[in-house]
Amino acid sequence: MADTLLIIEDEGLLGREMQRRYVKQGWDVVLSADLADARRQLVEVGIRPAAVLADMNLPDGNSLDLLEELREGQESVGEWILLTAYGSIPDSVRALQLGAHDFLEKPVDDARLDLALRRAARSVRAERQLSYAASSAAAKFRVEDYIGRSTLAEEARHMLRQIAQASFSALVLRGETGTGKGLAARILHYNGPRASGPMVEVNCAALPEGLLESELFGHEAGAFTGAKNRREGLFEQADGGTLFLDEIGEMPLSLQAKLLKAVEDRVVRRVGGNREIKIDVAIITATNRDLEVEVAEHRFRSDLYHRLSVFQIELPALSRRKEDIRDLVERFVAEFNARREQRIDRIPDEVWERMGDYAWPGNVRELRNVIERCVLLSRGSTLEANWLQLSTVEQPQASVDGDSINFPLDGSVTLDEMERRMIEEALRRERGNITRAAARLGISRQTMRYRVERHHITPADFQ
């Protein structure tokens, strides 16, 4: 489809000549002789030009006034190229302030005008692509895409919906691996006030300390061996949008101080640089660790923790919301059906029972992988149980042998379940005494208290 070009020119002969010229070049040209007709085309008719070629001084006013009016009304105005026979510095400054693409003095040769229009068209197309990408992502990452009918899922969606609308500076997403922290981060970004800005992601555990610092803050040429060119860091790349720091608990202490300064002062300094760069970034962090415990045991800075945890959202393990499995499976089956010619439209009761009995230590991510395997390998239209490959244990039990507790390593017991069982056993042996139970487990009393509260354990039950 041809891009629309609006020409505003009161000299009839010149206007028609430009119209013929740009129709031949593939533009869909609309010609207006004055501001009143141009305003009607833009506001009432509703044309959305990629570019506007406008004479500055027209019988009924100045084109800059129309441009300013449209900007204030947040209309889609396209890229404006202004032509004037009486160029002045105040007019050119005002045009620049209003975001005009170019400001040319008459007479202007055709080649220069063609070049200006081609640049304007490229600019508009790039902007449209970014807008389309943002709207597509927003459609893909809706609050409703955190699936589930359980109370826990409802609570998570409520938190995501409420916080997404807030202009938050930082928050922490907590939960086991595979619970959907990455999905939650994208929901928060694409449903909030920064949706039109960039979302930049980095896994803090995936990079060594030196490289992570350069990735986050950028570097100047010659800052270290191999740094041949200046490089913008992820903070700069995320300016105006969101920076998602996954596995923040893995960040080295030495780097946490620099992160704290960036979060508090909203400035960064590149590695090897000597100037501070202002940034406007919302920071979402995610962790499967207990940051309170990390702080208590001096592995995470308390000031950074309190600065990041303006809001906290806990994403529940799948083992705590098994009533959501059916909804999740139906969504995943529909997703993977699109990859094969034959559709899966029947799931036997045996499959539902086995999935309900399983502990899902890998949470939603594991469930998704299992359904992908089943859909792609099943023959016919029935999801075959043999491709589940789950170890079904009715109720995982730990065996106690002296000072040892043995757990099955078949995926049937989650880390949370192991931890809870160990704490309960230590409390049982110390008759509910938290201090002695903590000493038996080799952890501090403060850490023990936090974990007891986290698992909703009542020490008095073991006295």
Asked if the structure places residue 364 within a domain, the reply is yes
How large a percentage of the chain has pLDDT more than 70?
A: 91
pLDDT at 106: 80
| pLDDT tens track for 249-280 | 999 998 999 999 999 999 999 988 888 999 99
Q: Where among 260, 294, 314 does a domain terminate?
A: 314
State the number of CA atoms in the 13 A half-sphere of 48 facing the CB: 8
Lowest mean pLDDT among 69-83, 104-118, 270-284, 400-414: 400-414
Sign of torsion over alpha carbons 232, 234, 239, 241? positive
CA distances from 232 to 25, 242, 255, 269 (A): 39, 16, 18, 10
Do 79 and 131 sit in the same domain of this protein? yes
Q: pLDDT averaged over the chain?
A: 86
Indicate whether 75 pLDDT > 60. Answer: no
CATH at 36: 3.40.50.2300
Q: Are residues 281 and 301 in the same domain?
A: yes
Q: Identify whether residues 68 and 147 lie together within a single domain.
A: no
Domain that holds residue 344: 319-387
Alpha-carbon distance 101 to 120, whole Å?
7
Confidence of residue 136 (pLDDT cuts 50, 70, 90): low
How does residue 180 score in pLDDT terms, banded at 50, 70 and 90? very high
- In this structure, the answer to whether residues 300 and 346 fall within a common structural domain is no
Of 113, 136, 159, the position where a domain reaches its end is: 136
CATH code of the domain covering residue 251: 3.40.50.300
Same domain assignment for residues 297 and 244: yes
Are 404 and 392 a contacting pair, CB within 8 Å?
no
367 and 403: one domain?
A: no
Q: Is there a domain that residue 394 lies in?
A: no
Q: Which of 283, 314, 345 is the last residue of a domain?
A: 314
Q: What pLDDT, on the 0 to 100 scale, is given for residue 393? A: 44
Q: Is residue 355 part of a domain?
A: yes
User: For residue 395, what pLDDT is reported?
Assistant: 45
Question: Concatenated DSSP letters for 89-135?
Answer: HHHHHHHHHTT-SEEEESS--HHHHHHHHHHHHHHHHHHHHHHHHHH
Question: Residue 139: pLDDT above 60?
Answer: no
351 within a domain of the structure (yes/no): yes
pLDDT of residue 339: 78
Is residue 61's pLDDT more than 50? yes
Locate 29 and state its tokens.
């040209």
Let me know whether 121 and 150 are in one domain: no
Residues in the chain: 463
Structural domain contains residue 51 = yes
- How many structural domains are present in the chain? 4
Is the same domain home to 326 and 296?
A: no
Q: Does one domain contain both 282 and 431?
A: no
Does 215 lie in the same domain as 73? no
pLDDT: which is higher, 329 or 462: 329
Using one digit for the tens of pLDDT, what is the confidence trace for 291-335? 988 999 899 999 999 999 999 999 999 999 999 999 999 999 998
Assess if residue 393 is contained within a domain. no
- Contacts for 412-418 with beta carbons within 8 Å, 24 or more apart? 412/358, 412/359, 412/361, 413/359, 413/361, 414/176, 414/317, 414/319, 414/359, 414/360, 414/361, 415/176, 415/361, 416/176, 416/317, 416/455, 417/319, 417/359
Which CATH number covers residue 445?
1.10.10
Asked if 16 and 100 sit in the same domain, the reply is yes
Helices then strands, counting H and E runs in the chain, come out as 18, 18
Peptide bond into 49 cis (omega under 30): no
In a domain, 392, yes or no: no
Assess whether 190 and 289 both reside in one domain. yes
Q: pTM higher than 0.95, yes or no?
A: no
Contacts 24+ apart (CB under 8 A), 10-16: 10/34, 10/55, 10/58, 10/59, 11/55
In a domain, 263, yes or no: yes
Residue 377 is part of a domain; what is its CATH number?
Answer: 1.10.8.60
